[in-house]
Amino acid sequence: MKPVRVTLIPGDGIGPEVTAAAAHVIERAGARIVWDVQLGGKAALDKVGNPVPDALLASIKKNRVALKGPLETSVGHGYRSINVTLRKYFDLYANLRPVRTLPGIATSFSDVDLVVVRENTEDLYSGIEHQVAPGVVESVKVITARASRRIAHFAFEFATREKRKTVTAIHKANIMKLSDGLFLACARQEASRYPKIKYRELIVDNACMQLVLRPQEFDVLLLENLYGDIVSDLCAGLVGGLGVVAGANLGARVAIFEAVHGTAPDIAGQNAANPLAVIFSGIMMLRHIGETRAAARLDRAVGRFLEEGKVRTRDLGGRATTRACAERIAALL
């Protein structure tokens, strides 16, 4: 089999550290991959004056699969989020985030095994904001039947394929009757085509409470973009934090795999970040490109690494470096 070309975007902040660790263990797992390394985000802005260089877009377009570190977006001003730009450019409409209790990581919850399915292209992320009058601004929430049906279809297909039992649509249709109402109507319509999958609905605030009381009762969560963003971080907190939760942005042609976490500026450059989230994203990527044996090997090695519990980054209560984690996983491979 010919090696697969994968666009590797080191990203900003802790991105270069955690993606280097992930690339190292993916190679050691025996995956036949050629990395096509591309700059994006602040790193690209500083070097070539453009946070989304044409070379980056061309590389992803050609390779159709990427492993990406987090990209910095300034708060309240500056250029538009590069993540949002990439998701819209490649129409990566589904954001998939599996959240499960991991061996050897002590948290307040056990037996969590849920998947967040987040719509990735619209909602309040449309970027349409304007000042109506001094001191008054509007931010436009865009919900379409097309995108809502498409993400609901994705959630039910995923649930069927992965033998999941329940899809829970999470909304605020009691307040946003038109927009979230449309999202729910589409979810219900799709649910009626999957009689074997149980369908339920929860208002987002109640869903947050239920998630921290009884996370074990959740299976597949179906959310619009903003609720999905917030609930993803909440769910990461149930199983050990942002350092251990993977993600995938999926479209009809292109897939970009990335951790849920951001650039973690508070620990960037210290060799202290947890590389597991990007490594788990890398395992999802290996399965996506058909490198199932390398994926299984790496998954087993990470499982043993976690059970062993000798090497831990600070977020998991240890003192180990990013590199030490990668080296230990590589040794277990």
Q: What does each C-alpha distance from 139 to 29, 126, 127, 198 come to in angstroms?
A: 46, 9, 8, 35
- Catalytic member of 61, 165, 177, 205: 205
Residues 278 to 317 in contact with ligand NAD, rule: CB under 6 A: 313, 315
Residue 67, CB-side half-sphere exposure with 13 Å CA sphere:
34
Residues in the interface with ligand NAD (CB under 6 A) total 22
Q: Is residue 93 annotated as part of the catalytic site, yes or no?
A: no
Q: What does each C-alpha distance from 187 to 112, 226, 265 come to in angstroms?
A: 24, 17, 38
Plot region of 49 (φ>0 → left; ψ -120 to 50 → alpha; else → beta) = left
Interface with ligand NAD (CB under 6 A), residue from 7, 38, 232, 274: 274
Interface with ligand NAD (CB under 6 A), residue from 88, 262, 321, 328: 262
Q: Which has the closest alpha carbon to 96: 15, 10, 187, 158? A: 158
Q: Is residue 172 annotated as part of the catalytic site, yes or no?
A: yes
Least Å distance, CB 68 to ligand NAD, is: 7
Residue 267 interacts with ligand NAD (CB under 6 A)?
A: yes
Least Å distance, CB 21 to ligand NAD, is: 10
Residue 73 interacts with ligand NAD (CB under 6 A)?
A: yes
DSSP 172: -
Please state the three-class secondary structure of 66-99 as a single string: EEECCCCCCCCCCCCCHHHHHHHHCCCCEEEEEE
- Catalytic member of 93, 123, 172, 315: 172
- Catalytic member of 42, 123, 125, 219: 125
Residue 243 interacts with ligand NAD (CB under 6 A)?
A: yes
Task: Write out the two tokens for 221.
Answer: 């969560």
Site residues for ligand NAD per CB under 6 A: 14, 18, 70-73, 83, 242-243, 258, 261-267, 273-274, 277, 313, 315
